[in-house]
A = this chain, B = another copy of it.
Amino acid sequence: MPELRKDPIVGRWVIISTERGRRPSDFGRTVAPKHAGFCPFCMGNELKTPPEVFAVRENGTLPDSPGWRVRVVSNKFPALQIEGDLNRKAEGIYDKMNGIGAHEVIIECPDHELELSQLSVEQINLVLTAYRARMIDLARDKRFRYIQVFKNHGEAAGASLEHSHTQLVATPIVPRRIQEELKGLEQHFEMKERCILCDILDQEMMIGKRVVVDNPDYLAIEPFAPRFPFETWIVPKAHNASFEQSYQGNYYSLARIMKETLTRIHLTLSSPPYNFVVHTAPCNEAQGARQFHWHLEIMPKLTRVAGFEWGTGFYINPTPPEDAASYLRDVAIPEVETAASKTLP
Could you tell me which A residues sit within 8 Å of B by CB distance? 1-6, 8, 11-13, 15-20, 77-81, 84, 91-100, 146, 148, 150-152, 156-159, 167, 169, 171-173, 175-178, 180, 196, 199-200, 203, 207, 224-225, 275-279, 297, 299, 304-308, 310-314, 316
CB-nearest residue of chain B relative to A172? B4
A158 touches B275 (CB 8 A): no
A13 contacts across to B, CB distance below 8 A: 173, 175-176
Are A8 and B94 CB-contacts (below 8 A) given A171-B312, A175-B313, A312-B175? yes
- Give the secondary structure class of A's interface: mixed
A104 vs B196: C-alpha distance when bound (angstroms): 37
A2 vs B307: C-alpha distance when bound (angstroms): 28
A156 contacts across to B, CB distance below 8 A: 304
Are A178 and B4 CB-contacts (below 8 A) given A79-B20, A81-B19, A307-B275? no
A176 contacts across to B, CB distance below 8 A: 11-13, 312-314
Are A4 and B97 CB-contacts (below 8 A) given A148-B312, A150-B307, A314-B171? yes
Are A148 and B311 CB-contacts (below 8 A) given A17-B79, A173-B13? yes
CB-nearest residue of chain B relative to A2? B99
B80 touches A15 (CB 8 A): yes
A277 touches B175 (CB 8 A): no
**Residue in B18, B203, B275 whose CB lies within 8 Å of A93:** B203
